[in-house]
């Protein structure tokens, strides 16, 4: 009998994808023999580049070294502290081929932040570049049964026991690579989800491969699914974030495209890459789109080669998309403006704009990708809502994570008994099943597409003996989207200053988490009956701004 569908439960309009027992690395490099000498990844700053054949060889040798030389066993965790450089691909896919589980950290993190993450998932080896070797050594002291540090770009150091990547790749290693099961976890990125501190998100090969198949459905693709067109893509979003890793890197590797990436964004380097590499597709976050739309040194001539731009990871306004087209004097047929929506917890994509879609839908985050279902539920009654009614967005599909690492309670709060992922985002859909995001119920702050957990900043401010209470909230910002601002209650007769609070946070956290929105002093923090900070009260009233 046909399943009885609940009313207002939406299925993807584009069918289903089938996923077998294939690992992520096997899936991503499946067709590499068709284009071994095509350029694979190029560093836009240094020009260092590998072709697909070389990349595949290095991945295989890296896997052998991690298993045969460093003696890392299947299932053990390796931590990457790497910017967007071509060797990122060698390490991450080499590790996955060896059956390891990867967790990656932002190279801008302080050692406190890296230590917290790497100790939480019990990392056994770290790979990083010269600049962060001292940090890796310091962090490794708090890791149990640590097996070694890999220096990307450096040579072996017999004194400190550091392994140079070059030496690892050059030597022959006796390794028996494991048969990896597609249901095994292979990646643990960190996300604060709907509440609290960042948590490990357990993603399996199957989650990530499903998502690649879901987005590589003809309706959502430039060439109707045809591969190997030799496209060049320019990208800045970090490979150490799920958007950069699965949504950009793996997505384009499967197609055999040339990926040009910048380890560090500067307007000059970005413009240089536009001119030198003539990319057809740009992958951006909203703040980068704002840069393209408004920066005086970006000239329309530099974008002649561009036919599509993918924007994701944070809200983009319709007016910014239009402003961009006006600035570069292009029509929506000349440059396709595509939007994707998702979460780290969903590998990440759940909604995407079709490659060709009606102009009046500009500003929408798109439609459900294959094998994905959605409900929009009322914030008060929990019932599933119809078109144009705003509520919390719930999603279900094979790309949804296995759960949070070592945190069953948070897993249960986020994925309900029926498998629905509660996004903490508020949105609605229209009659054609295009979705729109209007707000967020969760505390998460997004600074230039980066996640900032208010809890993380609040706990640092609370450590100060003169602080009685604190709430950190995202304030709107023209370029960054949002910036964190702290509302602080001091203990009686204390004189802690705004500057002292800002400096203390700056010492302990990466730059994008700093209190760019400043500090305001209050007599009390609005809390609900359960004692939870009512973060949303701050956004609703002028008096807090």
Nearer to ligand AYL, 247 or 370 (CB): 247
CB neighbour burial string for 376-392, b if at least 16 within 10 angstroms, e if fewer: bbeeeeeebbeeeebbb
Dihedral angle sign, alpha carbons of residues 277, 281, 283, 285: positive
Nearer to ligand AYL, 437 or 457 (CB): 437
* Least gap, CB of 265 to ligand AYL (angstroms): 17
Is 440 a binder of ligand AYL (CB under 6 A)?
A: yes
Contact (CB, 8 A) for 471 and 525: yes
Nearer to ligand AYL, 139 or 321 (CB): 321
Both structure tokens of 539:
């956004």
Is 274 a binder of ligand AYL (CB under 6 A)?
A: no
Of positions 187, 288, 314, 509, contacts ligand AYL by CB under 6 A: 314
How many binding residues for ligand AYL (CB under 6 A)? 24
Give the contact letters, 174-213, x = binds to ligand AYL (CB under 6 A), - = no: -----------------x----------------------
Nearer to ligand AYL, 361 or 446 (CB): 446
- Please report, for residues 374, 527, 531, the alpha-carbon distance to residue 54 in angstroms, rounded to integers and kept in the order given: 42, 57, 56
Of positions 92, 437, 490, 525, contacts ligand AYL by CB under 6 A: 437
Phi then psi dihedrals of residue 269, to 5 deg = -65, -40
Nearer to ligand AYL, 263 or 474 (CB): 474
Nearer to ligand AYL, 339 or 384 (CB): 339
d(CA 487, CA 41): 44
Angle, vertex CA 270, rays to CA 298 and CA 90, nearest 5: 160
Nearer to ligand AYL, 184 or 425 (CB): 425
Of positions 79, 83, 198, 312, contacts ligand AYL by CB under 6 A: 312
- Secondary structure string (H, E, C) spanning 401-440: CCEECCCHHHHHHHECCCCCEEEEEEEEECCCCCEEEEEE
Give the contact letters, 78-97, x = binds to ligand AYL (CB under 6 A), - = no: --------------------
Specify the residue for token string 């207002």. 8
Greatest CA separation for the chain: 72
Phi then psi dihedrals of residue 331, to 5 deg = -100, 165
* Least gap, CB of 380 to ligand AYL (angstroms): 21
Q: Count of CB atoms within 10 A of residue 329's CB?
A: 9
d(CA 247, CA 98): 22
Nearer to ligand AYL, 159 or 478 (CB): 478
Of positions 99, 315, 484, 517, contacts ligand AYL by CB under 6 A: 315
* Least gap, CB of 442 to ligand AYL (angstroms): 7
Both structure tokens of 532:
């939870």
What 3-state class would DSSP assign to 111?
A: helix
Both structure tokens of 257:
């495209």
d(CA 476, CA 285): 16
Give the contact letters, 236-265, x = binds to ligand AYL (CB under 6 A), - = no: ------xx---x------------------
* Least gap, CB of 379 to ligand AYL (angstroms): 15
Q: Which stretch binds ligand AYL (CB under 6 A): 137-145, 312-320, 373-381, 499-507?
A: 312-320
Q: Where are the alpha helices (DSSP H) in 474-534?
A: 498-508
Is 428 a binder of ligand AYL (CB under 6 A)?
A: no
Of positions 423, 458, 473, 496, contacts ligand AYL by CB under 6 A: 423
What 3-state class would DSSP assign to 79?
A: strand
- Please report, for residues 204, 367, 370, 428, the alpha-carbon distance to residue 431 in angstroms, rounded to integers and kept in the order given: 34, 11, 18, 10
* Least gap, CB of 531 to ligand AYL (angstroms): 25
d(CA 432, CA 264): 39
Contacts of 325 (CB under 8 A, 6+ apart): 331, 332, 335, 337
Contact (CB, 8 A) for 204 and 185: yes
Give the contact letters, 361-400, x = binds to ligand AYL (CB under 6 A), - = no: ----x-----------------------------------
Nearer to ligand AYL, 279 or 348 (CB): 348
* Least gap, CB of 54 to ligand AYL (angstroms): 28
* Least gap, CB of 488 to ligand AYL (angstroms): 26
* Least gap, CB of 209 to ligand AYL (angstroms): 16
Using CB under 6 A, which residues numbered 326 to 365 contact ligand AYL?
339-344, 348-349, 365
Q: How many CA atoms lie within 13 A of 121 on its CB side?
A: 31
Contact footprint for ligand AYL (CB under 6 A): 191, 242-243, 247, 310, 312-315, 339-344, 348-349, 365, 423, 425, 437, 440, 446, 451
């Amino acid at each position: 009998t046909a399943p009885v569908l609940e009313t207002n439960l939406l299925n993807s309009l584009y069918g289903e994808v089938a996923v077998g027992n294939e690992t992520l690395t096997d899936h991503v490099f499946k067709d590499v023999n068709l284009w071994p000498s095509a350029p694979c990844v190029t560093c836009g700053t240094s020009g260092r580049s590998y072709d697909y054949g070389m990349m595949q060889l290095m991945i295989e040798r890296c896997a052998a070294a991690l298993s045969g030389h460093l003696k890392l066993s299947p299932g053990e965790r390796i931590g990457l502290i790497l910017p967007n450089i071509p060797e990122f691909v060698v390490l991450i896919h080499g590790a996955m081929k060896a059956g390891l589980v990867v967790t990656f950290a932002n190279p801008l993190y302080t050692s406190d932040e890296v230590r917290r993450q790497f100790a939480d998932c019990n990392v056994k080896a770290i790979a990083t570049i010269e600049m962060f070797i001292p940090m890796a050594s310091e962090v490794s002291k708090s890791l149990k049964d640590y097996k070694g540090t890999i220096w990307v770009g450096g040579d072996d150091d017999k004194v400190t026991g550091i392994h140079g990547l070059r030496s690892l790749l050059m030597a022959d290693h006796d390794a028996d690579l494991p048969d990896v099961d597609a249901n095994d976890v292979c990646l643990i990125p960190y996300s604060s989800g709907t509440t609290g501190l960042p948590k490990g998100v357990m993603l399996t090969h199957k989650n990530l491969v499903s998502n690649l198949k879901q987005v590589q459905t003809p309706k959502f693709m430039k060439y109707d699914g045809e591969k190997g067109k030799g496209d060049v893509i320019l990208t800045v979003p970090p490979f150490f974030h799920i958007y950069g890793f699965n949504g950009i890197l793996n997505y384009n590797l499967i197609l055999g495209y040339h990926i040009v990436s910048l380890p560090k964004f500067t307007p000059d380097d970005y413009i240089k890459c536009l001119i030198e590499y003539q990319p057809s597709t740009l992958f951006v976050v909203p703040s980068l789109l704002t840069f393209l739309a408004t920066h005086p040194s970006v000239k329309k001539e530099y974008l002649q080669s561009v036919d599509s731009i993918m924007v994701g990871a944070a809200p983009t306004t319709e007016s910014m998309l239009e402003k961009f087209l006006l600035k570069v004097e292009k029509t929506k047929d000349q440059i396709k403006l595509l939007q994707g929506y998702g979460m780290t917890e969903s590998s990440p994509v759940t909604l995407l704009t079709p490659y060709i879609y009606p102009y009046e839908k500009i500003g929408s985050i798109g439609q459900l990708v294959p094998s994905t279902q959605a409900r929009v539920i009322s914030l008060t009654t929990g019932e599933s809502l119809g078109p144009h009614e705003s509520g919390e967005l719930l999603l279900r599909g094979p790309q949804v994570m296995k759960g949070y690492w070592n945190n069953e309670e948070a897993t249960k709060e986020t994925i309900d008994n029926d498998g629905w992922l509660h996004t903490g985002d508020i949105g609605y859909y229209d009659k054609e099943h295009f979705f729109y995001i209007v707000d967020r119920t969760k505390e998460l702050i997004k600074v230039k597409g980066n996640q900032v957990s208010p809890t993380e900043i609040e706990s640092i401010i609370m450590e100060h003996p003169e602080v009685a209470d604190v709430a950190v909230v995202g304030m709107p910002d023209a370029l960054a989207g949002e910036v964190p601002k702290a509302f602080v209650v001091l203990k009686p007769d204390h004189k802690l200053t705004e500057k002292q609070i800002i400096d203390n946070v700056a010492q302990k956290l990466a730059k994008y988490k700093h209190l760019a929105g400043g500090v305001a002093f209050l007599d009390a923090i609005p809390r609900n009956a359960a004692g939870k900070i009512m973060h949303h009260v701050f956004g609703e009233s002028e008096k807090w701004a």
